[in-house]
Chain A
Amino acid sequence: MNRRARSLLGVALPVSAIIIFVVLLAFSLMRLSDIERNMRLEATQNMLWVISRAHVSSLQLGEAVAGILAGEVDPAGMELRLNVFLSRLALLDDGPQRRRMELLGASASLDALRGSLPELASLLKDAGPQTMPRIRALLSPYNAALTEAANKAMVAEWDDLGSTLDATRKQLWQIIISMIGISLAGTVLCVHFVLAIRDARQRTRLLNQEKAFSELLIGSSGEGIIAVDMERRCTVWNEAAERLFNVSAGRATGVALGDLSGFFEVDRIEKAIGEALRGGAVALLDQPFFPDHQSEPLYVDLRCFSLRDGGRIMGTILLISDVTERRAVQREIADHRDHLEQLVQARTQELDAALTRERATADLYRNFGTMISHQFRTPLALVDSALQRLVRRRDRLTPAEILERGTQARSAIARLVRLVESTLDAARLDAGQIEVRSQACDLGLLVADICTRQAEDMGGRRITVTPPVDGPPIAHCDPVHAEHILTNLLSNALKYSPKETLIGISFTVDQSRIACIVTNTGSLGGALERDALFDRYYRGSNTEGCPGIGVGLYMAKALARLQGGDVCLQASEPGTVRMAMVLPRSVCGSGAVAAASVAQEPA
């Protein structure tokens, strides 16, 4: 049976049963009312008694007449019997009794007797033996008629009673059948109601189960679930809300939200709840919440939805999630990302530096190649030229010419050897194979010694040495390296200045350092050239025609820094180049010299 037919039967069956119940009940009541009405007996239905009393009074009247004749009855007794007789006659002639007598066919004799009453009265007044036959003749038909009427009345009353009993029995059977119908309809209704009650109980049980399940869901939810009515009084407050706000459900129920926690009095939270109570849906994320029982703030997500019953808004439901941990994790992820970015940036800088170094190395090799092609080819060409001339003119050459050519060749070879040594020095420097043995060293003596030893290479150039005014310039350095540096500086000054100009050497001294300054006339290129002056294998624009491989200043600066000092180009008037070797005056002054040189370097 499908659902529709079943529900139709569920309605039609009880309605039909109720209709049958009501109809049968009304029918039964109607029949009972009929029976009740038929049960009333009227006095006229007791006609047998009335007739018999009339008959008796008639007979008693006759006896009274006989009694008078015998002297046994006085006139008063006679009158009493007559009155009783007349009274019964009048009763039979009254409306209801008269109609019954007519039905019984006895009315004619009554009327005849009534017509004879004056005669009877006069006969009784003068009662005597001679009037007796007439009195009996008058009363006799009356008595016979009453006897017959009594018979008929008895039959009629019994017939009436029988038919009444038949009708009553028939009505009672109808009522019994109706009662059976009522009972059946009642049984159907009872069964229906029992089934309906069972169904309702089952539905109630299911509903209670669903309610319990919902309560379990709400209770076990990790999310705070709060419901409020239109007056913002709390109606639902689950366990998560208890933990979050440290308020029990028993205390929260029926209390206004604002009285439970200051969180709900925050302006934007109040507005969100108000919006939900007007039918909107609001979500507020990462809201700070300061619980009473801890100093650290929590962060919660708040979602508000309106609760509706049909179209009517009953209140709102608030879902509150503690997102403090999530927020902390997000912050950690952000920090990690920042750290990674810093790492990438640092690594990028390192890579950029490596690239720069690679480029510098490429430049180095390119400069080295250029230097080799220029500086090594020239002496080789000189040697080759001398040897060719010796070969071509082998027959005509004098010993002096041979010596000259040989000397030229050897000078060129010696230059090559120096170039190779310089290159090897630079390689050793790069490899960290140069040792420094610092000690107290008089730079004045060192300069004088160098000037003396290089006098023959100077081609008669004049060098003026200006010693410091306050004693000998004692530096803390390795004398070998200091000589190497000064030789390089002096060699450069001689090479890149006009032959007629002076070379000046002076000293400046302060608390921690001592500088030996080599000054020559000349010029340097632009700022780019000044920056590249100390690069290895770099040769300036003013070095055309001068032998060299471009490692002198590089070596000088590197050696000075190894000793805690520096070599730098100092500011000077135009047309003058001032190159300074700065060295520490003592062990502890080396740091200061390095710092000062770094500061001066950009100049």
Chain B
Amino acid sequence: MLADSFGQAQPLPLPSPAAPILSVHGSVARANADGAAHFDLEMLRALPATRLETTTAVTDGVRRFDGVLMRDLLAHVGAQGKTLTARALNDYAIEIAMEEFDRFDILVAYEMDGEPLLPSDKGPLWIVYPRDRHAELQDIRFDYRWVWQLRWIEIR
């Protein structure tokens, strides 16, 4: 059915993680449980890694982030939609337009300054914008999209 939907070669089935840290629901082509794509840290690390150095609105100085580009992740799960809703562990939810991930290199970071992001801080995942590369991103209306303790994504 999936192959019929996309008219492509049969995608490899996603492995089912024992302890998922990210779940992508909604309009996704690849899923591993309950119609959603669940990832643990190993699966995310298996995707093409990207590094980004930037300041943040809530920390001092320039920080180095390692993670996966959101558009790579969305492509990996075959996400089709116009809006992405990111939800944190504390139920903080923000809608982001899908086209934004094509305009900017927005990262789903799992490390900051070489250290894994912890759930007791801003981990396990943190949406990081390339704030220093684009002046328009240095705006409070983008600052609230930096969702930390990211846990769920829904594609519509």
List chain A positions with a Cβ less than 8 A from chain B.
40-44, 46, 53, 56-57, 80, 82-84, 86-88, 90-91, 94-97
> Which chain B residue has the least Cβ–Cβ distance from A92?
B58
In contact, B89 and A95 (Cβ under 8 angstroms) = no
Distance (whole angstroms) from the CB of B79 to the closest CB of chain A: 26
> Which chain B residue has the least Cβ–Cβ distance from A88?
B90
In contact, B120 and A86 (Cβ under 8 angstroms) = yes
**How many Å lie between the Cα of A46 and that of B149 in the bound state?**
19
Distance (whole angstroms) from the CB of A161 to the closest CB of chain B: 14
In contact, A84 and B89 (Cβ under 8 angstroms) = yes
Q: Which chain A residues lie closer than 8 Å to B57 at the CB level? A: 42-44, 96
A87 and B58 in contact, given A41-B140, A43-B143 (Cβ under 8 angstroms):
no
In contact, A42 and B140 (Cβ under 8 angstroms) = yes
Q: A44-B58, A86-B121, A87-B121 are in contact. List 14 more A-B contacts (CB 8 A).
A: A42-B57, A42-B140, A43-B140, A43-B143, A53-B92, A57-B90, A83-B120, A83-B149, A84-B89, A84-B149, A87-B89, A90-B121, A94-B60, A96-B58
Distance (whole angstroms) from the CB of A212 to the closest CB of chain B: 63
Cβ-based interface call for B64 (8 A):
no
Q: Interface on chain B toward A: helix, strand, loop, or mixed SS?
A: loop
Q: Which chain A residues lie closer than 8 Å to B139 at the CB level? A: 40
Cβ-based interface call for B59 (8 A):
yes
| Binary contact track B82-105/A, C-beta < 8 Å → 1, others 0 | 000000011010000000000000
**How many Å lie between the Cα of A94 and that of B126 in the bound state?**
16
Cβ-based interface call for B122 (8 A):
yes
Cβ-based interface call for B148 (8 A):
yes
Cβ-based interface call for B119 (8 A):
yes
Size band of the B side of the interface?
10 to 19
In contact, A90 and B120 (Cβ under 8 angstroms) = yes
**How many Å lie between the Cα of A42 and that of B141 in the bound state?**
10
Q: Which chain B residues lie closer than 8 Å to A88 at the CB level? A: 90
Pairs of residues from A and B, 9 with the lowest C-beta to C-beta distance, nearest first: A95-B60, A43-B57, A86-B120, A83-B119, A84-B90, A41-B140, A43-B143, A90-B121, A83-B120
Interface centre among B59, B120, B121, B138 (most CB of A within 10 A): B120
Pick from B59, B61, B119, B140: contact of A87, CB below 8 A.
B119
> Which chain A residue has the least Cβ–Cβ distance from B139?
A40
In contact, A83 and B58 (Cβ under 8 angstroms) = no
**How many Å lie between the Cα of A84 and that of B91 in the bound state?**
10
> Which chain A residue has the least Cβ–Cβ distance from B143?
A43
Distance (whole angstroms) from the CB of A130 to the closest CB of chain B: 25
> Which chain B residue has the least Cβ–Cβ distance from A79?
B119
In contact, B120 and A91 (Cβ under 8 angstroms) = no
**How many Å lie between the Cα of A84 and that of B96 in the bound state?**
23
Q: Interface on chain A toward B: helix, strand, loop, or mixed SS?
A: helix
**How many Å lie between the Cα of A83 and that of B89 in the bound state?**
9
**How many Å lie between the Cα of A86 and that of B90 in the bound state?**
12
A87 and B60 in contact, given A43-B140, A53-B90, A80-B89 (Cβ under 8 angstroms):
no
**How many Å lie between the Cα of A454 and that of B56 in the bound state?**
184
**How many Å lie between the Cα of A267 and that of B123 in the bound state?**
107
**How many Å lie between the Cα of A27 and that of B25 in the bound state?**
55
Distance (whole angstroms) from the CB of B9 to the closest CB of chain A: 38
15 A-B residue pairings within 8 Å (CB atoms): A40-B138, A42-B57, A42-B140, A42-B143, A43-B58, A43-B144, A44-B58, A56-B90, A83-B119, A83-B120, A83-B149, A87-B120, A87-B121, A90-B121, A97-B58
> Which chain A residue has the least Cβ–Cβ distance from B140?
A41
Q: Which chain A residues lie closer than 8 Å to B121 at the CB level? A: 86-87, 90
| Binary contact track B143-156/A, C-beta < 8 Å → 1, others 0 | 11000110000000
**How many Å lie between the Cα of A95 and that of B143 in the bound state?**
16
Q: Which chain B residues lie closer than 8 Å to A57 at the CB level? A: 90
> Which chain A residue has the least Cβ–Cβ distance from B121?
A90
**How many Å lie between the Cα of A111 and that of B136 in the bound state?**
36
Pick from A82, A87, A96, A97: contact of B149, CB below 8 A.
A87
In contact, A82 and B59 (Cβ under 8 angstroms) = no
Q: Which chain A residues lie closer than 8 Å to B143 at the CB level? A: 42-43
Q: Which chain B residues lie closer than 8 Å to A96 at the CB level? A: 57-60
**How many Å lie between the Cα of A86 and that of B119 in the bound state?**
9
Pick from A40, A84, A94: contact of B59, CB below 8 A.
A94
Q: Which chain A residues lie closer than 8 Å to B120 at the CB level? A: 82-83, 86-87, 90
> Which chain A residue has the least Cβ–Cβ distance from B141?
A41
Q: Which chain A residues lie closer than 8 Å to B144 at the CB level? A: 43
Interface centre among A40, A83, A86 (most CB of B within 10 A): A83
**How many Å lie between the Cα of A399 and that of B4 in the bound state?**
215
Q: Which chain A residues lie closer than 8 Å to B140 at the CB level? A: 40-43, 46
Q: Which chain B residues lie closer than 8 Å to A97 at the CB level? A: 58
